[in-house]
Amino acid sequence: MTKIKICGIKTLADALAAIEAGADYLGFNFYPKSVRFIEKAACAEIASVLKREHLQIKLVGVFVNASVEEIKDTLQTCSLDLAQLHGDEPPEMLSALDGKAFKAFRGIPEKADGFARSEPPAFLLDASVKGVYGGSGVTADWTAAAELAKKYPLLLAGGLTPENVAEAVCRVKPWGVDVASGVESTPGQKDAEKMVQFVREVRKAESGKW
């Protein structure tokens, strides 16, 4: 079954609505310049509830060019399962984070091998938009992504919405899909109905009913 990650969660209500909709992974953005930025204390508070009541949900911290120390501290403080490295981090950083991190590529990587994790997700594939570290609403190159998806259990991101995610799943066949702006009513605020619709479309594509 295709994994579903809903990213840019800022409130407990949005986190619970995402879980209710059928998300497997929730993403929390620690990049200060993002409209989806969340303070560590706020994330820790949300995570404490989720770790009590929804243990099956994996929690992911999104970082852009943060230090290893800062990432480790945030993972621990906020009880997060994984770190998503969305900046210009080198492969060495992945090993420094003891297998708890995966790389996000903006655009199709020339060489993914050095970055690919041994367990899924191997990495995340986002659209390439100059000067923007994710959440741009622009779709990735699905044709190239489909070739990579044959080799790696990747997370597909970039401009996915309830309207196009079924086609993306059918064409790319990714291990999982990642959405932020595509399920929001306003930037940074999730829309419960759009999240439900998004998950429904993914499941529809898998069952061949798309």
88 is catalytic: no
78 is catalytic: no
Q: Kindly name the residue from 14, 43, 78, 126 that is annotated as catalytic.
A: 126
Per the CB < 8 A criterion, the answer to whether 60 and 82 are in contact is yes
Contacts of 125 (CB under 8 A, 6+ apart): 104, 105, 108, 140, 145, 148, 154, 155, 156, 157, 158, 174
Q: Kindly name the residue from 7, 14, 43, 78 that is annotated as catalytic.
A: 7
- Total number of residues shown for the chain: 210
> Which positions are annotated as active-site residues?
7, 126
